[in-house]
Every structure is written in C-alpha cells, then in structure tokens.
Amino acid sequence: MDTPLKNASADRVSEHESLLIKGQLIDGQTLSKKLNDAAIVPWTLNDFEQEEQQKEADKKAEIRQEVEKQIQPELKKRSDMLRKEVYDSAYQEGYDAGFKLGEEEGKATGKSQAYSQARDFLFPKIQSIDELLKNLQAPQQQMQQNLFDEIVQFSAFIAEQLLGEQLSRNPDWLYRVVQEAIQTLPESEAPIEVALNADDLAFLQELETAWLKNYHCKADPAILPGGCMVKQQFSSIHHCWQNRFLALKEQLTNNVQSLTDSQQRAMEAAQQNQSPTFYWDEDSEFGEEDFAPLKTGSNAIPEVSEADFPAKKSSPSASSDAEPIKSVKDPASQSNNE
C-alpha cells in the first residue's frame, strides 16, 4: 500500500480511483485535492546546501542592513549638502538675473528722468534766446524801413526842388506843356485861352516869345510855376507837373514799402524754418557738465538802448499844396494824355 502511495501524484490519480491510507479508504477526488494543496516533497541531501545558502543570504542581508545603518547619516549629510548647493546656485542665478533686469530698468528710468530735467532746464532758455533774437531784429527792420522812407523822401525833395527851379525858367518846357495840352483838345476853330503862372508869363513876355501871340494868354495865380491851363469853349486841360511828380513819388513810396514788406515776410519765414530745434539721443552718454548753466563769454549780446535808433525826421513838405483844377473834358482821355 505504501509503494503505490509514494509513486502517486495528483496527475496520476484519477478522480474515480480509491486508495486505502492508514486503514481509511480515500477516493481519488479527495486524494487529488490533497495532493494539489500540499505536494509531498521527498527529502534529499541538497537540503543542507539550501540551508547554508539561506543562512549566507540572511547574513549578507544583516551585513547590508548594518552597513546601510552606518552610512545613512553620511548619505543624509551629503544629500543635504547637495540640496543646499543646488538651492544656493539657483538662488544666485535668480539674483543675478533680477539684478541685471533691475539695472537695465533703472538705467532706462534714469535716462528718462535726466532727459526730462534737461528738457525742462534748456528749453525755456532756448525760447528766451529765440525771443531775444527776434526782439533785436525788430528794431533793425524798423530802422531799415525808416532809412528807406528817408531816402525816398529826401530824393523826392531834391528832385522837386531841381525840377521847380529848372522848369519855371525854361521857355522850351513851357512851350512843350502848352502844346501837349492843346493837342488833347478836340478839333475846333474856337479861340484857345492859355492861363500861366504870373512869373512864367512875365518871363515869356520878357523873352518876347513868338507863340504867345497865337493864343489868348493871361496870368492865373492858381497855376503853379511850370504848369498851364488851356481852355477852348467847354473843354479845359490842366497841365501840372507837380501833380505828376506827386503821383510818381507816391508810386515810388508804395514800391519801396512793398519791397520792404516782402523782405520782412521772407525773413520771418526763414526764421520759422531755421528756428533752433534740439533733439535728444536717449542712448547717448552724458554727465553733469552737460546741464551746466549757460555762461556769458566774449560773444555776449550787447545791450541796445533807444539812443541807437534815432527818431524819424520829418520830411520836407511839397513846395505847394494847390489843388489841381478840374477839367470838363472826358476824364478817360485826360488820364491817357497825361
């Protein structure tokens, strides 16, 4: 009964077979279950070797645990040191990056503040200098205008005096102005009346001028020297060189005034186009000396007083204020003839 049991196994015992073990009859199904739950392992000599190996493994495990227990404080110390080193390195990198960023932002802010301070300090001074230059140019322009007016007035006065002196004693001039006035009259056989200045008529009569006999000549105190009044029926022509001279003088004065105004406008436009404009380069380097107060040197602007600009002198008046005599002739033809 023992031999079959030793050689029996769960795989070889059929569920339908039955065995008698220790006087008990065990069916195959129950025996198969028991064999599967705990297999019967026969004892061999190798069991001693396995026990030695197990003891050796346990001893190594104890040694390993003892070594680990001994080196654990050192490992922890080194781990803490490594962790602190990594932390310090990361902290320093973050500090350097933040310092660099703060330095750049501070530099930009400082430049912006310096630019604002320089602008607030310099621009008012530049504007005051610009205003000073404009104020200095204004008297110069006024003096130039006064000088032009004086030259025109003086030239007109000299010309008027010379013309009055020469024409009043020039028989050829008197004859020419009388003929020009007569030619502007309409064609008619009616007699012509010539009115002359009393001095001019006496001068011509003294010279026994022949053409006086062709007209009815008389003296008129309203006629200025060098002029004449020609009448024929309902037409009259007044030839007065003083009126022409005054018109020419007025035209010359207006031309000079227009020229002066044009020059002044051109100067003002040039000043506006060339007004000092200062640009600030925020990337440039600068120091405190760049914002020092302006110093006056040898090129300082001289002081100007009223004595440097004398008042305008009164120009001599015309030699006569007599009004021209109106003519009944067509004004258009009269203006064309003059």
Per-residue exposure over 184-213, b if at least 16 CB sit within 10 Å of its own CB, e if not: bbeeeeeebebbbbeebbebbeeeeeeebe
Tens-digit pLDDT profile for residues 140-182: 667 777 777 777 777 777 776 766 666 666 778 888 888 888 8
CA distance 232 to 195: 12
Question: For the CA atoms of 261, 266, 271, 274, what is the dihedral angle to 10 degrees?
Answer: 180
- Among 131-135, 265-269, 293-297, the minimum mean pLDDT is found in 293-297
Tens digits of residue pLDDT in 24-72? 555 656 656 665 655 555 555 566 677 778 888 888 888 888 877 778 8
pTM of the model: 0.33
3-state secondary structure 115-178: HHHHHHHHHHHHHHHHHHHHHHHHHHHHHHHHHHHHHHHHHHHHHHHHHHHHHCCCHHHHHHHH
Letter for the amino acid at 160? E
Least confident of 12-21, 75-84, 179-188, 221-230: 12-21
Q: Which residue has the tokens 């040898």?
A: 298
CB 238 within 8 A of CB 327: yes
First vs last C-alpha separation in the chain: 177
pLDDT at 88 over 80: yes
Instruction: Give dist(CA 146, CA 310) in Å, integer.
Output: 10
Overall average pLDDT of the 228-234 stretch:
86
Q: Is pLDDT at 330 greater than 50 in this prediction?
A: no
SS3 content of the chain, % helix, strand, coil (to 5): 60, 10, 30
CA 205 vs CA 58, 198, 200, 210, 223: distances in Å: 171, 11, 9, 9, 17
Which value, to the nearest 10 degrees, does the dihedral of the CA atoms of residues 331, 178, 169, 155 take? 30
For residue 289, which amino acid is it? E
Confirm if 134 and 271 have CB atoms less than 8 A apart: yes
Q: How confident is the model at residue 331 (pLDDT cuts 50, 70, 90)?
A: very low
Judged by average pLDDT, the poorest of 77-91, 109-123, 144-158, 278-292 is 278-292
Q: How many residues does the chain have?
A: 338
Domain borders along the chain are 2-37
DSSP classification of residue 233: T
Question: Do residues 130 and 301 make contact, with C-beta atoms less than 8 angstroms apart?
Answer: no
Is there a contact between 336 and 184 (Cβ–Cβ < 8 Å)?
no
Q: Mapping DSSP to helix (H, G, I), strand (E, B) and coil, where does residue 333 land?
A: helix
